[in-house]
Amino acid sequence: MRRTAAVLAILTCAVALLSGCGDDEPSDDPGGTTTETKTIEITFSGDTVEPNGERVEVKAGQEIELVVKADKPGELHVHSNPEKEIPYGAGTTSTKLTLDEPGVVDVESHDLEVVIVQLEVS
């Protein structure tokens, strides 16, 4: 079942790409309440990535720090509204973001065609 969901997510993604999901607007919300930062470590190695489709619960407006460790540069795709593209380099790259709308937001690698984490925003 999970495989089907992943395939669907990728298809959704491909459609989104066709309709031009290239504009990334970082939605920083100053004046939000201070909550603990949720740190998610993502490790790319060759053609694999950890985690792989794991669900992570976050609060709306909570600061999320993505710490990407990679052996080569690439890009994460966050299926929030609006969508975000997060480039990373070889080595360790740390990026912060917040999600304001409740729902499930996929974080994907289009290079590997996988869903890395699903952020469950509540």
Chain residues binding Cu ion by CB under 5 A are 13, 77, 108
**Peptide bond before 51: cis, by omega within 30 degrees of 0?**
yes
Q: Which residue number, 13 or 114, has a Cβ lying nearer to Cu ion? A: 13
Provide, rounded to whole angstroms, the least separation between the CB of residue 69 and Cu ion.
Answer: 20
Q: Which residue number, 63 or 108, has a Cβ lying nearer to Cu ion? A: 108
Q: Which residue number, 23 or 36, has a Cβ lying nearer to Cu ion? A: 23
Instruction: Provide φ and ψ at 12, rounded to 5°.
Output: -55, -45
Instruction: Provide φ and ψ at 79, rounded to 5°.
Output: -85, 50
Q: Which residue number, 62 or 80, has a Cβ lying nearer to Cu ion? A: 80
Q: Which sign, positive or negative, has the C-alpha torsion 27, 37, 65, 52?
A: negative
Distances (CA, A) of 43 to 72, 81, 82: 11, 25, 25
Provide, rounded to whole angstroms, the least separation between the CB of residue 48 and Cu ion.
Answer: 18
The amino acid present at 90, given as its one-letter code, is A
Provide, rounded to whole angstroms, the least separation between the CB of residue 115 and Cu ion.
Answer: 9
Provide, rounded to whole angstroms, the least separation between the CB of residue 18 and Cu ion.
Answer: 12
